[in-house]
Amino acid sequence: MDRERLLSRAKITYFFKETFRAHSKAEYKEIFSRGLGDDGDAISGAFPWLYVRIFFALLMLFTANVLILRLTGNPIYEPSVTFLGGITFLIPFVVFLFELYPKRDLSLMLIFSVLVIGGTLSGGIAQLGYALIDAEGKWLSAIIAGIVEEISKIIPAIIAIEFTKQKSPYAGYILAAAVGAGFSVIEDMGYIFFYSDEFFHSDIQATVTVFIERGLTSFCTHVVWTGAVGWAYCRMEKPYRSVWLLFLALSVMLHILWDLPLEGWIAAVIIGTCAIAGVIENIAMIYGSRSDIMEAEIDINRFNDNIIAEAKQMGERMRFTNAANLTFALTCALLSVIILILCALPIGMEYRRVEFESKEEFIARIEGGYNLKADMKRRYDFDERKNVEERYIDKKLSYVVQKDAVAGFDGVYYFGYYASDFSRPADIYVELDGYPSRILCTEYEFGGESVWVFEVDSEDIISYSYNDRTGAVTAVTNAEEFEGYDVLIALVATACGITAGCCVVLTAFRIKLRRVKKES
């Protein structure tokens, strides 16, 4: 095999060329033993392939656990949904980056150790930073999050690079990316748990949504941001070693822009630009570093091509078996997607989760959009003409209700006072047109702040939670009646069609395998 052909293996365009072909036991042994022997300077000629198999397996396991949780509502399955949801996208992505690394001086065991230890350490440092820095407001929180989290991730990444004594920019990239993936796994598990916890009545719809959103964005956030800084740390040599700090500043900036509390097309444009910039930057780093290693390190005598040659010489029966296995795996993956969508449909659900950007938006929802005022500082008006009710105990005045209007606000207000304390009302009610009875003003807590709210439209609200950092409110309400039966029928019909097609193809493969077996 000539040098030009060997170098062609480093090109990005060939990444997926052999992903779905049959792989021999020797190839499995090679990838799991890579980096554990004395051949650290050798070059692996394999294309990435293991990551796809890991993704299919994790996706099907996650789907199975979500389905069980959806059907039974048993909270014992929430930990498995949380764990599998946090790793289904990130673990295959890290394996993919590892498979692209051409040298054999890094092992999967080392990468996963860095992922677990580095991710945990970075999470701990980040929480310490949040404890020391008190950020108020969404904009300041976004800035603090970008600075704290990016610095928290790069510290264990540099420790891992120095501990392993890696000087290759690509090796530094993978180690730093593993730390970023570990941090992201912990964060994603936290979000998924938050949405599937029993307190929020196992909202499967929100769980699946977060799983997809966090999973798809994992390819252009924590992993690539931290990986780029690790690459720069190994790439820059003295006297320009400090230049890698510019890459850290770029990662911080991308993180801040990603977290900015914007909405609509402006948010979409900024997030899209950040994603594209991060992906382009990292593809350039991987492509350049991979090509540099192949050009500098290739030794035809040490090139690990015999395993690939052995795999390609596998018989016709093995190729048909692999095709059947691939058909079955793809079918299961497609069915998993459909099952997740079906689980997210609000069929038979008692509760649903509603997100409010601020407590003001939440209060407006409870108060039905009316312009109301809870005047808790109103003192008793000793003009007895305003008294609409008086209560006595043992012929002694104990409780008085006054009727009054508040200028600029809707409705007529009723203020109740205890005779022992006329300094402030004990109760406030409002009377609105179209409502048969008075509406009580109730105290709500938002991060230590008490707000009095008129419960005009709160019958369907079960519970609520306030986020001190972002100011958002999450409410659990009664679920709406499901009406999308056309979508349900289409999904079920599609699943049946895919299953039937798979059965036909697998039957054809089985017949062909019998013929091949007889001929052999």
pLDDT for 111: 95
* Cβ count near 49 (within 10 Å): 20
Confidence of residue 42 (pLDDT cuts 50, 70, 90): low
pLDDT for 312: 54
pLDDT above 70 covers what percent of the chain?
86
Give the residue with greater pLDDT, 348 vs 277: 277
What are residue 416's phi and psi, to 5 degrees?
-105, 135
Is pLDDT of 308 > 70? no
**Region of poorest pLDDT, from 178-187, 277-286, 338-347, 380-389:** 380-389
Q: Find the helix or strand (DSSP H, E) in which 420 lies.
A: none
Instruction: Please state the rounded mean pLDDT for residues 388-393.
Output: 90
DSSP string, 455-481: -SS-TTEEEEEE-TTT--EEEEEEPPP
| pLDDT mean across residues, the chain | 84
Give CA–CA dist 253/226, Å, rounded.
12
pLDDT for 182: 96
Of 340, 378, 435, 384, the C-alpha closest to 68 is: 340
Q: How far apart are the first and last CA of the chain?
A: 32
Give CA–CA dist 211/217, Å, rounded.
10
CB 259 within 8 A of CB 187: no
Instruction: Please state the rounded mean pLDDT for residues 52-69.
Output: 93
Is pLDDT of 477 > 90? no
Tokens of 232: 């720069």
CB 301 within 8 A of CB 17: no
Give CA–CA dist 422/300, Å, rounded.
94
pLDDT for 325: 80
Is pLDDT of 205 > 90? no
What are residue 441's phi and psi, to 5 degrees?
-95, 125
Domain boundaries, the chain: 3-314, 316-349+482-520, 353-478
Give the residue with greater pLDDT, 18 vs 437: 437
Give the residue with greater pLDDT, 304 vs 452: 452
pLDDT for 7: 47
Written as one letter, the residue type at 227 is G
pLDDT for 297: 54
- For the chain, the residue count is 520
Is pLDDT of 462 > 80? yes
pLDDT for 33: 86
Instruction: Please state the rounded mean pLDDT for residues 317-344.
Output: 85
Is pLDDT of 301 > 70? no
Residue that is written with structure tokens 């970008």 in the block = 146
Q: What is the pLDDT of residues 176-200, one digit of tens each?
A: 999 999 999 999 998 888 776 645 5
Tokens of 437: 């009875």
> What's the per-residue H, E or C state across 58-113?
HHHHHHHHHHHHHHHCCHHHHHHHHHHHHHCCHHHHHHHHHHHCCECCCCHHHHHH
Residue 515 CA from chain centroid, whole number: 48
CA distance readout (Å), 493 to 20, 333, 338, 487 = 28, 16, 10, 10
